[in-house]
Amino acid sequence: MLQLDSIHFAYGQTPVLDDISLQAEPGAVTCLVGPSGCGKSTLLRLAAGLLAVQQGEIHIDGRSVAAPGVHVPPEDRSVGLVFQEGALFPHLTAGDNIRFGLRDATESGRADELIRMTDLEGLEGRYPHELSGGQRQRVALARALAPRPKVLLFDEPYANLDQALRRQLRAATRRLVAELGTVAVFVTHDSDDISELADTVVAMHDGRVVQRGSPRALFDHPEHPSVARMYGQAQRIGGSKSGDVVKTAFGDWPSDCLAIPGVADGPLDLLVRPDGLALSTDADGNAVTKLRVSGADDLVAVRGDDDTVIMVRVARPHSLTTGSRVSVAPLHHRVFPDVAS
Ligand code: ADP
């Protein structure tokens, strides 16, 4: 297990991490998510031993590896790293890149096993520039796994790849982590990484953990605007709350549509997802300006009284066309007040 307790960190006088604690279990993927600059990579670098801990403590498999005055070097922590592209040795073949990661050269069977596990058979003799982006990342994964690390740390490794490749690599990552019983911490801000990879999600904002739980729990019940914003194409609209009613350019909505209760009266920004709203035909309602196919559904663009446009997901078949008039109703607890962000 990887355990971080009450980690604080500052670059010079600038605090970046504020009291972060987390545990990541073997055989599971923990996704560390949050907007750019919230401190994810810094936390990963502390866990890897690339930065020294100033306050707090890190344990790997029960052993203290970092605390003020304690710094086990990266190579003695049993930690592997997978970064974005460019981390392979260009002058070594794929096979030699993987073998480079082996602690013991006699373990060449291990390299063959990893080549098989990452579907790289037949490509061992190629140099990195002779491989596709996805193949290079599979070599990087195999190389990181070669010395049997207890912990694998990923820093947005698949960010530069296309969707199909990302999907394959996520599947390979999940399978390998489960089969080898490795602790995996995966930094990302891609919501597809979260839904396809994560067993547990730890969401950060401004150097703090703001929510942790299953991908579904974070999707259905975001407790912080940055979590609501992360998933499901959240769109921001203006509103004004007054008692039981929230006034918007798309009508007056009951305030129990708000996912976070106890919001003060007054103007506020709202985050709404295409699947958090419902449309019904209404001759006095707002105009439909466009329809776009999205899988089995249509995304229907509706123009508000202030000319802002929101997209609403509607199952086909339906009778809406451009120019239809509709009223827009929020689903219960499906509108997220964008406060405290
Ligand atoms: P994330 O990975 O979530 O994008 P980082 O951990 O990279 O965030 O950065 C967190 C904050 O620390 C940012 O404000 C960033 O500018 C700052 N930062 C990162 N690295 C350094 C550094 N070496 N020196 C000073 N500030 C840094």
Residues in the chain: 341
Of residues 21, 41, 16, the one with CA closest to residue 186: 41
Q: How far apart are CA 47 and CA 81, in angstroms?
A: 10
Task: Quote the pLDDT of residue 163.
Answer: 84
What does the mean pLDDT of the chain come to?
Answer: 91
191: burial class by Cβ within 10 Å (0-12, 13-18, 19+)?
middle
Give the distance from CA 102 to its chain's centroid.
30
Average pLDDT over residues 120-134: 92
Q: Which of 7, 16, 45 to mutate to test the pocket of ligand 1 (most atoms within 8 A of CB)?
A: 16
* pLDDT exceeds 70 at position 328: yes
Question: Which tokens go with 105?
Answer: 């050269």
Helix (H) or strand (E) holding 299: strand 297-303
CB-ligand 1 contact for 39 (6 Å cutoff): yes
- Compute the distance from residue 18 Cα to the ligand 1 centre, in Å: 13
Q: Looking at the CA of residue 43, tell me the nearest atom of ligand 1.
A: 6
Q: How far apart are CA 332 and CA 163, in angstroms?
A: 33
Task: Quote the pLDDT of residue 234.
Answer: 86
Question: Is the distance from CB of 189 to CB of 33 less than 8 angstroms?
Answer: yes
Average pLDDT over residues 180-199: 91
Protein residue whose Cα sits closest to atom 19 of ligand 1 = 42
Q: Enter the pTM of the model.
A: 0.83
* pLDDT exceeds 50 at position 93: yes
Question: Is the distance from CB of 94 to CB of 137 less than 8 angstroms?
Answer: no
> What angle do the packed helices 163-180 and 133-145 form, to 10 degrees?
10
* pLDDT exceeds 90 at position 109: no
DSSP secondary structure code for residue 304 in this structure = -
Q: Which of 8, 9, 41, 186 to mutate to test the pocket of ligand 1 (most atoms within 8 A of CB)?
A: 41
For residue 287, which phi and psi values (nearest 5 degrees)?
A: -85, 140
CB-ligand 1 contact for 41 (6 Å cutoff): yes
DSSP secondary structure code for residue 258 in this structure = B
Task: Quote the pLDDT of residue 235.
Answer: 92
Name residues whose C-beta falls within 8 Å of residue 161's C-beta, 6 or more positions apart in sequence. 133, 134, 137, 169
* pLDDT exceeds 70 at position 273: yes
- Per-residue model confidence as pLDDT tens digits over 238-263: 999 999 999 999 999 999 898 877 88
Task: Quote the pLDDT of residue 207.
Answer: 97
Average pLDDT over residues 291-312: 95
Protein residue whose Cα sits closest to atom 15 of ligand 1 = 37
* pLDDT exceeds 80 at position 84: no
Please report, for residues 23, 65, 74, 183, the alpha-carbon distance to residue 8 in angstroms, rounded to integers and kept in the order given: 16, 16, 19, 22
Average pLDDT over residues 318-324: 96
> What angle do the packed helices 133-145 and 108-117 form, to 10 degrees?
140
